[in-house]
Copies of this chain bind each other. A is one copy, B any other.
Amino acid sequence: MTYVLVAILCSLVGLGTAAYYATWVLKQDPGSALMQKISKHIQEGALAFLTREYRTVAIVLVAVAIAMTVFLRASGGIVMALAYLVGAVFSGSAGFIGLTIATRANSRTTHAATKSMPKALEVAFRGGAVMGLTVAGLGLLGVSLCFVVFLFASGLVKDLELVPGAMLSIFGMQIPATTIFSDIIPGFGLGASTIALFARVGGGIYTKAADVGADLVGKVEAGIPEDDPRNPAVIADNVGDNVGDVAGMGADLYESYVGAIVAPLALGSLLLGFRGALLPLLIAAVGMICSAIATLFVRGKEGGNPGRALSLGTYGAAILTLVACLPLVLWLVPAGTAFAGKSVVNPIGFFIAIFVGLAAGMAIGQASEIYTSDAHQAVKKIAEAAKTGPATVILAGIATGMQSTAASIIFLVIAMGVSYVAGEWAMPLGGGIFAVGLSAIGMLATTGIVVAVDAYGPIADNAGGISEMSHQGPEVRAITDSLDSVGNTTAAIAKGFAIASAAVTALAYFQLYATKVGLDRIDILQSNVIIGLFIGGMFPFLFSSLAINAVGRAAQAMIEEVRRQFREITGLREGVEGVEGEYSKCVDIATTAALREMILPASLACALPILVGLYSKSMLGGFLAGSLIVGFLLAIFMANSGGAWDNAKKYIEGGAMGGKGSDAHHAAVVGDTVGDPFKDTAGPSMNILIKVMSVIAVVFAPLFTRG
């Protein structure tokens, strides 16, 4: 009990820090009236999107909860449904809080930039830290509460051991403790996944529909340049940055974070009893505290490099976490700890797994950076290819993205292999799979600071936009530009990290699935399994194609709305003082279109694993593995192709190959436009896809009875 209270305490420290930063940010000067007005439009737009999204999510949540209660009655359906709803509400709240602060930090950052760079960096980072610490804090708090409510309150645990035969009595059901770990708590994970599905897929369609829509309006309506404030889609575009990079990324990593606790926790409970379940929870708690401490390291120096300050935070948190995990592992599962006839031999092996997971996350993030930053060869080559036109830009970008999969796969595979071997060394005949799960929580322990650094990006980006729209001087622009450019790098790293974390989380769920349905092997020589692999491998391609087409259609709806406003609102096109576009209408149109467009892909993602599982559980095993591998590859490919095109365009705009307005620039713009739905819609959707399908398999496992 005490130990779980420690975890709760840690989560409260994180949330407290977040609350402190939020208050601090809100106390900063929100800037001039114009800055505030623009910021207010963005806030309202973001709120409108969230409201609309959550209204739709609510219906899905209720439906799924009812389905759980009915179909999973035998495995404590109604309790699982409760955990599910709590998981969803926590994730939704994190998104709401993070987005609220982020959209208020933007104009404050702009105003701070009129003072100094370190000040502006502080405001932007602390704005992001609210999101980061809230995501991690609520994730950890939620899982810990499940422990407390379901386990301790009913006296199932005593002195770090489960009381043999003890049952949780609830709603007239008798639920054994093991079921709580393997069935009830994964329900919490599915709640996180449901929100992530909407935030990432719906949000991804929204943000690119608004972006592409706003761009195309600039082209089809004469006299309205791309970023003109008269264009009512411009605000929707800014809202999109927050919806995609703050709320979307937050929900994505919240889901990974929860999954990386939940899956190893269930696997650990089977291997090592209560100690095994507690270990992932306490690693997360340690990471939480270290992340909160590390936010203090991020301080700009006048004339210093803001990127270095952010890296200090990320790496500082990682090192602190590692240092603290070593004694934790040695204390909780010392050599000789025995359970179910097996015992721990070399606990240090579990620590190695945590370490390689953390290292792999950082390495895959860095690999993304190398393929998408103009400081390296790949982006320069794409810019070079722009001299011979758009076709060669596209080919070079696709080749770059495809090539980049190799580095990421190699890091992932090393982490998997090393942690498996280390786990078997730690505890023969079973430790390996648990250790792979530990590498997942190792990677995600510092989620708090990773999301903080990532959410900093769109705040800096928005601050740059506001400084332009509110006509600030070049010194201010120079500061916001330098912050924004660092934000692009951190975004690239976070993207790679998010993909890697999705893969390890899905992998942990996959192992848990196999354990739950009692598959002791998933043999690809069996035709069922190989058929599952093929279908699972195909689905990410199909899903991507649906997502890419959805952006196109939603953008079309947006363009039509803008044209309607130009037609019906007198004075808008002419820019008459006091006449404003109906910004919220544009936001609403894009929101509706995005939510409508996600119905088909999201339904398929939820229904397919259940249908396959009902047909055969080993086919579902193959299906999950196939979708995991192909989804991971496509995620890396699309994120890095898209990022490389984006930065190749920016590199040319910086003066290379003839600079802005040259033929090379026009060619690079084509690459960037192709890359938009790649890197911000279809690519990130893969993260969710692989996690959501595997957690569905875990939760609905009791229904799958046919080999």
Contacts and interface: CB of A to CB of B under 8 A. Distances in A.
A538 B406 contact: yes
Nearest to A539: B406
Contacts of A392: 552, 673
A511 B669 CA distance: 47
Contacts of A531: 413, 416-417
Interface stretch (A144-152, A236-244, A625-633): A625-633
B399 A527 contact: no
A179 to B, nearest CB: 22
Nearest to A549: B399
A436 B527 contact: yes
A26 interface: no
Contact of A395 (B413, B421, B548, B622): B548
Contacts of A524: 522-524, 529, 621-622, 625
Interface of A: 216, 385, 388-392, 394-396, 398-403, 405-406, 409-410, 412-413, 416-417, 420-421, 432-433, 436, 507, 511, 514, 519-525, 527, 529-531, 533-535, 537-538, 541-542, 544-546, 548-549, 551-552, 621-622, 625-626, 629-630, 632-633, 637, 669-670, 673-674, 677
A618 to B, nearest CB: 10
Contacts of A432: 527
A402 B544 contact: yes
Contact of A391 (B403, B522, B670): B670
A521 B413 CA distance: 21
Contact of A545 (B400, B527, B632, B677): B400
Nearest to A523: B521
Contact of A533 (B394, B549, B625): B625
6 contacts: A216-B388, A394-B674, A398-B545, A406-B538, A511-B525, A533-B629
Contact of A542 (B406, B541, B542): B406
Shortest beta-carbon contacts, A-B, top 8: A391-B673, A402-B545, A420-B527, A403-B545, A409-B538, A521-B523, A399-B545, A402-B541
Nearest to A398: B548
B542 A403 contact: yes
A537 B633 contact: yes
A85 to B, nearest CB: 32
